[in-house]
Amino acid sequence: MKKNLIGLETLNTRYAQEWDLLRINPETTALEARSLGYLAENEVAIRLSLGNGPISPASAGFRVNFEPESLLSEKTIKYMAGFLTLIVAILGTAVRWKLLTIKGTRQREIRLHAASR
């Protein structure tokens, strides 16, 4: 019974400290409110399921910077862009050459047709 009494006194002390912090410290109040699902007027909630454990915010207002991992390095992307540019230039030159060849053949046919009249 004395162990239960000591345990209850410890719990009472801890809860009294939490209660005092909730009444006095606005950051603690905001943090507890967020953990219960409440938001301020200018806040937006984004819920992410990251695991099985309970989610409680680490603080009441620090900025988290996110830098996504790239699948390809910047150097690889530059090489790919250069390679694709080279392919497009070669194809463009080939198409232009073919169009000029067709145009030249047509002009010869027109001249031959006009000369034969």
Same-domain status, 38 and 76: no
Domain span at residue 37?
1-45+59-64
Segment among 31-35, 57-61, 65-69 with least mean pLDDT: 57-61
| Positive or negative: CA dihedral 34, 63, 42, 30 | positive
Tens digits of residue pLDDT in 70-94: 788 889 999 999 999 999 999 999 9
Tens digits of residue pLDDT in 2-52: 888 898 999 999 999 989 988 999 888 888 888 888 888 887 777 776 666
Q: What is the DSSP letter of 52?
A: S
Q: Residue 52: inside a domain, yes or no?
A: no
Q: Which residues contact 27 (CB under 8 A, 6 or more apart)?
A: 59, 60, 61
Q: Residue 111: inside a domain, yes or no?
A: yes
Q: Residue 77: inside a domain, yes or no?
A: yes
Q: Residue 7: inside a domain, yes or no?
A: yes
Predicted TM-score (pTM) of this structure: 0.34
